[in-house]
Amino acid sequence: MSLVASAVALNGGAFDSIPFLVSDIGNASTPEQRTALAHEIRNTCINVGFFYITEHGIPQEMIDNLFTIMEAYFSLPLETKMKLYHKEVGSGFKGYAPALDSNLDPMNRGDLHEGFEIGWEELIPKERDEKRANDGAMAGANVWPSEPAGFREVYLNYYHAAVNVGRLLFRLFALALDLPETYFDDKTKNSAAVMRINYYPPQTGLESGGIVGIGAHSDFQCFTILWQQPGIQALQLLNSQKQWINATPIPGTLVVNIGDQLARWTNDIFRSTVHRATNRSGVGRYSVPMFFGTDYHVPIEIFTLRFRGVTATREAGSLVRRREALGGSYDRRRVTDVCRPATGKTLRRAGGRMSSTTT
Ligand SMILES: O=C(O)CCC(=O)C(=O)O
Ligand SMILES: [Fe+2]
C-alpha cells in the first residue's frame, strides 16, 4: 500500500485546504502501514472532517458509465422524471427530486439541483433480502425509471462498489479511533447506504435571491463518499473562521466527509463539517454522494474515552455551536430526529442529509 498524505494545513486553527490521502485502502498491507494511514485519517477527521482518497477501487469505466446515464436521465423531460417523484412513490425518500424540491439551509430559498435517490438493492434480486428488510427508514423497494436503458444496472454497479469503499473505510475509521479494526463489522451488517445522483444546472444569477445549488448543511450518516465532476468547482466547506474553502475536484479521487453520526459517536472530536455547493460554471454539473452508516438499530454511545494521545487541535466549537451559527438549534439526545431552526422551518432527516419543510 502506498501512502502519500498531505499534511493538514492549519491557519490560526482553521483549515484552509483539504488533505489528500493517496492509498490503496483495500489491499492487504502491513499493520504498520495501516496504522500510519489511520493516523492520517484521524488527523484530518479532527481538523477538517473532509479528505480526498484515490486508489479507491471503483473502476473508471464504472464511473464513466454512471456519468453517461446521469446525463441521459436528467435530460429527460421534467414530466417524465416527475412520474417517479419521491413524495408520491416509494418510501418518501426514494425516487426523483426536481430542482428547488429541498432547501437545506433555512436562510435560503431553495436548492437548485435535481436528484434521484435509492437505498439497498441487490443487482440480482433475492427472494428474502435481509438487508432490504432491515433498511430502517429506507425500507421498501427502490423505484426505477424505464429510460434510459440500463439505468438500474449501471446505478447499482456503482452503488455496490461504493458500499465496498464504505466497508473498507469503516475499518480504517476504527483504527483511527484506537479501536480494534473489526469494531464496526457487527454494526455494519445491514449498513445504511443511501445513494443519490445529483444534477446542478448552470447557475448564472447571484446567490442573493437565496437560491444556491445545495445550501449549507452537514450530512448525518457516519460518513459520505462523494464523487464530484472533475473540472467544475462548486463544493465548499466552512472552516472555524467562517471562511468557505473550495473542495476543488481532483480527477481520480473521491471526497470522504464525516457525518453527524460519527461526529456524535466521537463526542465531536471527529468533525461533521458544514458544506454547500453552487454551480456557476456555465455548464451542468453532476455529483454522486453515497451516505454510509451503520445498521439502523445500533446505539450511538460516545467512545471518546478510548482515544489515546489525541491532541485535539480543532477549535472547541461543537456540532451544536456550528448549528447555532447557521441559525438552528440541535437536539443532542437523539440521532434520528429533527432540527428546529429559528425560521419556523423543520429540518427532517431524509436519506443522508437534512431536508427542510415549512411548518
Ligand atoms: O454536490 C456536491 O458536491 C455536494 C452534495 C452534498 O453535499 C450532498 O448531497 O449532501
Ligand atoms: Fe452533503
Question: Which chain residues have CB less than 5 Å from ligand 2, an ion?
Answer: 219
Report d(CA 148, CA 166) in Å as an integer: 28
Rounded average pLDDT over 148-172:
96
Q: Pocket around ligand 1: residues whose beta carbon is below 6 Å from it?
A: 198, 214, 219, 226, 228, 234-235, 275, 277, 287, 289, 353
Q: What's the pLDDT at 310?
A: 42
Highest mean pLDDT among 202-216, 278-292, 317-331, 342-356: 278-292
Expressed in angstroms and rounded, the spacing between residue 282 Cα and the centre of ligand 2 is: 22
pLDDT at 37: 85
Q: For ligand 1, what atom is nearest to the CA of residue 285?
A: 1
Banded model confidence at residue 140, pLDDT cuts 50, 70, 90: confident
Instruction: Return the residue whose CA atom lies nearest to atom 8 of ligand 1.
Output: 289
In terms of average pLDDT, the best of 105-114, 286-295, 319-328, 330-339 is 286-295
From the CA of 219, give the closest atom in ligand 1: 10
- Chain-centroid distance of CA 293 in Å reads 10
CA of 225 to the centre of ligand 1 (A): 10
Element at 160 (helix H, strand E): helix 151-176
State the chain's mean pLDDT as an integer. Answer: 79
ipTM of the complex: 0.99
Distance in Å, CA 118 to ligand 2 centroid: 16
Nearest-atom index, ligand 1, CA of 289: 9
All domains of the chain in start order, with CATH = 3-355 (2.60.120.330)
Ligand with an atom nearest the CA of residue 273: 2
Q: What is the pLDDT of residue 157?
A: 98
The yes-or-no verdict on residue 336 having pLDDT over 70 is no
What type of residue sits at position 225? I
Helices and strands per DSSP (H, E), number in the chain = 7, 19
pLDDT, tens digit (0-9, with 9 covering 90-100), for 25-41: 666 467 888 888 888 88
Q: How far apart are CA 261 and CA 250, in angstroms?
A: 27
The amino acid present at 152, given as its one-letter code, is R
Position 34 scores a pLDDT of 83
* pLDDT on residue 333: 31
Query: Which ligand 1 atom lies nearest to the CA of residue 352?
Result: 10
pLDDT at 219 over 60: yes
Residues near 195 by Cβ (< 8 Å), separated by ≥ 6?
117, 118, 155, 158, 159, 162, 288, 289, 290, 291
Report the separation in Å between the CA atom of 56 and the middle of ligand 2, taken as the mean of its atom positions.
20
Q: State the distance from the centre of ligand 2 to the C-alpha of 338, rounded, in angstroms.
A: 17
The residue with greater pLDDT, 170 or 5, is 170
| 96-122 mean pLDDT | 90
Distance CA 280, CA 289 (A): 20
Q: Above 60 in pLDDT, residue 246?
A: yes
Distance 236 CA to ligand 2 centre (A): 10
- pLDDT tier for residue 299 given thresholds of 50, 70 and 90: confident
Give mean pLDDT, residues 303-327: 39
* Separation between Cα atoms, residue 310 and residue 254, nearest integer Å: 26
Q: pLDDT-derived band of residue 118, with 50, 70 and 90 as boundaries?
A: very high
Give mean pLDDT, residues 142-148: 95
Predicted structure pTM score? 0.84
Q: How far is CA 161 from the centre of its chain?
A: 15
Q: Which residue has the cell 445491514?
A: 190
